[in-house]
Amino acid sequence: MKTILVTGGAGFIGSNFVHFLLDSDSGYKIVNLDALTYAGNPDNLISLENNPGYEFVKGSIDDSSLVADLFDNHDFDAVVHFAAESHVDRSITGPEAFVKTNVLGTQVLLQTAKKAWQDRYDKKRFVHISTDEVYGSLGPSGYFTEKTPLAPNSPYSASKAGSDLLVRAFYETYNFPALITRCSNNYGPYQFPEKLIPLTITNALRDLPLPVYGDGKNVRDWLFVNDHCAAIKLVLERGTPGNVYNIGGNNEWHNIDIVKLICAELGKPESLITFVKDRLGHDRRYAIDASFIKSELGWSPSVNFEQGIKKTIQWYLDNRWWWNAILKTSV
């Protein structure tokens, strides 16, 4: 049985990955390190409390003593590194936390894993989960490839680009067994309701205004979170150290069209839509070319956006207790 350190495993994508890995493969034990900040929610993993293949540790990735203790007490076969401050709006008003967690925290993990894994790199993997936002913004055409230069436009994406470059440097300098994945916008169960899709669903269910930035014409490529988890598992098991893998859903939508679609699915009037002042530095369009991971590892998304949004809406309908608890504590 392989033992994996998952950082940020109580967050949106991380918790979905923990569920996906334990549900799909009994050959893994997961140690989940999460600081349980605003986006980390232990309720995401409540069904795993008695699972012998799962252990939760509360703490921050920038706590070098704690991270060292974890590596001393476990012979990790791999690290899958999700932990990050990830909400762009919060990075605009408070960028310091993003640098601390995303850059310095990643450095702590890299340095500790390097020391623990010395002379055994061939049997180890460090998978760093990043974002297409590090590439900046696209015009009306074209796609991000793994060769696209990094040009981040927000404090969040700049901090993620910094962590990406640290990971790359550890591979280039030490031959450290690191891989990087960069995904498009995820959606699905357990997403913190500040983000566009869960915010729209939960507000619409309560007949509250549905805020849309600017003219609503910003374009994102949407990836159902389970498809992302499947891609990460492939990279973990079959990816080549040193490689970057773009993971995209091939589902480009304008923000305003997503909000209108959710209104239609829930039978809510479009009069709830409220246009608000655009976000500072709001990138106009993201779109990923995921042909490399398809050709190298055989991955492609299994769910289109129309299918995925129905699954997502149904999950929020079935799990009102989950998001109601978050909304009560964030008031």
132 catalytic, yes or no? yes
Do you know the residue count of the chain? 331
Per-residue pLDDT of 223-247, as tens digits, reads 999 999 999 999 999 999 999 999 9
Question: Is residue 207 included in any domain, yes or no?
Answer: no
Residue 327 has which token pair?
């909304």
Average pLDDT over every residue of 147-160? 95
Residue 135 lies in a domain: yes
- The CATH number of whichever domain residue 117 belongs to comes to 3.40.50.720
- Give domain status of residue 263, yes or no: no
Residue 21 lies in a domain: yes
Catalytic choice (156, 171, 187, 316):
156
> Is 331 a residue whose pLDDT tops 50?
no
Asked if the structure places residue 209 within a domain, the reply is no
* Whole-number pLDDT of residue 330: 59
Please identify which of the residues 62, 77, 132, 227 carries the catalytic annotation.
132
Cα 222 to its chain centre, rounded Å, is 12
> Which residues sit opposite 321 in a β-bridge?
none
Note the pLDDT of residue 89: 78
Q: Which of 62, 133, 221, 289 is catalytic?
A: 133
Mean pLDDT within 267-285: 91
Range of the domain at 235: 2-192+225-249+282-303
Average pLDDT, the chain: 95
What share of the chain has pLDDT > 70, as a percent? 99
Instruction: Report if residue 205 sits inside a domain.
Output: no
Q: What pLDDT, in 10s, does the model give residues 65-79? A: 999 999 999 999 999
Q: Using DSSP, state whether 69 is helix, strand or coil.
A: helix
Question: What pLDDT, in 10s, does the model give residues 245-265?
Answer: 999 998 999 999 999 999 999
Is pTM beyond 0.75? Reply is yes
Is 133 a catalytic site residue? yes
Per the structure, the count of domains in the chain is: 1
CA distance 264 to 203: 14
Which backbone phi and psi does 81 adopt, to 5 degrees? -105, 95
230, 20 contact by CB (below 8 A): yes
Evaluate whether 279 touches 213 at the Cβ level (below 8 Å): yes
Residue 259 in domain: no
Q: Is 148 domain-assigned? A: yes
